[in-house]
Amino acid sequence: MTQDELKHLVGRAAANYVLSNVAQGAVVGVGTGSTVNFFIDELAAMKDRFRGAISSSIASTERLKKHGISVLELDEIETLPVYVDGADEIDHSGHMIKGGGGALTREKIVAMVAQTFVCIVDESKRVDRLGKFPLPVEVIPMARAALMRRLAALGGEPVVRLAKDQSVFVTDNGNTIIDVHGLRIDDPEALEAEINGWPGIVTVGLFAQRGANICLLGSAKGVERIDY
């Protein structure tokens, strides 16, 4: 199966999970990225069953609205029964690296209020130890150079993310992303807490303190459900 076929497979599995486990009239949390796009497309077929969605990015909001799915503001709700999102890496404890699409801060905010985080990935994203994928860190622009020095001191190689036109990539929040290559991440929760404590950090793309509850893992054999 191609990677797109695997993404479609887990997107459909996530929609079936929501259909079976989320009450009618509920609001669904929706992440960002190419795998989530398949989930959104599948969710459209059952949109009348739900009140609407909370979106983690402008791109997902536009796709949801294109399908006629209502997008609510997070301030309008207290909790979400489920949040469905992808990951760039996920380990055997449900810790993840996220932010390859640049939406890590909003993704982390939505995940914070969700009762269940369902991560949808193909088998290439499952790893024994996080860190092969560059760690995204969203930063306030004025702090970029100082934070790059601090990230380098951890043993990684920090690189400012560029857009397709080679300009500096700007997040939906108006900030910069530093991608840290080559980090050895032995304790994801401790590293997340350390980096998030630095002035100028908006958030780090480690989702360890609030990791996944369920992973729907796509492979040529089908979709495997992993509970953490």
- Annotated catalytic residue 107: yes
In the annotated binding site, the residues are 32-35, 85-88, 98-101, 125
Q: Catalytic pick from 89, 107, 138, 192?
A: 107
C-alpha 7/C-alpha 120 separation (Å) is 8
DSSP string, the chain: --HHHHHHHHHHHHHHHHHHHS-TT-EEEE--SHHHHHHHHHHGGGGGGSSEEEESSHHHHHHHHHTT--EE-GGG-S-BS-EEE--SEE-TTS-EE--TTS-HHHHHHHHHTBS-EEEEEEGGGB-SSS-SS-EEEEE-GGGHHHHHHHHHHTT-EEEE-B-TTSSBP--TTS-EEEEEES---S-HHHHHHHHHTSTTEEEESEE-TT--SEEEEEETTEEEEEE-
Residue whose structure tokens are 């949390």 = 29
In the annotated binding site for substrate, the residues are 32-35, 85-88, 98-101, 125
* Burial zone of 41 (CB within 10 Å; 0-12 exposed, 13-18 middle, 19+ buried): middle
Token pair in block for residue 204: 């780090």
Catalytic residue numbers read 107
